[in-house]
Amino acid sequence: MRRKILFAVTLTAVLGTTALSPCAAVANGDVVAVKDNFAAGTIVVRTSERRLYLMLGGGQALRYPVGVGRAGMQWAGTSTIEGKYIEPAWSPPESIRRENPRLPDVIPSGSPHNPMGVAAMTLVGGEYAIHGTNDPASIGHFVSHGCIRMYNADITDLYQRVGVGTPVVVTR
């Protein structure tokens, strides 16, 4: 089953499909009413709520729980999805290596120690990403160095719904 899901996700990325699916989220995403005036397809992360919203239009959004930047590592602003990756390898940035110098240079894809989970979508500039996690207990908390963490099932769902170039707005 997992192979079929990844094939569908990869096929979607290859075909460049960016249309929003009208179906409900397959994991923890809930369709909720919103008063924001963002265009359909925009990702909005509300750090204080520890929630990510995919705006659907018509006053509705898909809402997902997320883990966000811990104190001193939060950011706010706008960006876009720059790249999409299934089971990415992870190279710890220098800020994380300073905290844990024993980390390897690269943690390979599929490793249970890889914090990126099953998929990642990098934001312009490459410093931050919206990604899965190898620590589902971290979702709903202030835990990261600025990345947005999602349950693996949720990042898989979101990954299928958005494309490269999708606008991302992060608020505190």
* C-alpha 166, offset from chain centre: 12
Supply the residues annotated as catalytic: 131, 147
CB 108 within 8 A of CB 114: yes
pLDDT of residue 6: 36
- Fold of the domain spanning 2-21+67-171: L,D-transpeptidase catalytic domain-like (2.40.440)
| Token digits of residue 15 | 């075909």
Question: pTM of the predicted model, to two decimals?
Answer: 0.82
pLDDT of residue 154: 97
pLDDT of residue 28: 64
The whole-number average pLDDT for the span 147-167 is: 97
pLDDT beyond 90 at 12: no
The whole-number average pLDDT for the span 145-160 is: 97
Question: Each residue of 67-77: pLDDT tens digit?
Answer: 999 999 999 99
* C-alpha 90, offset from chain centre: 15
Residue type, position 53, single letter: Y
Long-range pairs for 5-14: beta carbons < 8 A, 24 or more residues apart: 5/156, 6/86, 6/87, 6/118, 8/160, 9/86, 9/119, 9/156, 9/159, 9/160, 10/86, 12/159, 12/160, 13/84, 13/86, 13/159, 13/163
Rounded to whole angstroms, what are the CA distances from 141 to 29, 50, 51, 148? 17, 7, 10, 10
Question: Each residue of 26-63: pLDDT tens digit?
Answer: 466 899 999 989 999 999 999 999 999 999 999 999 99
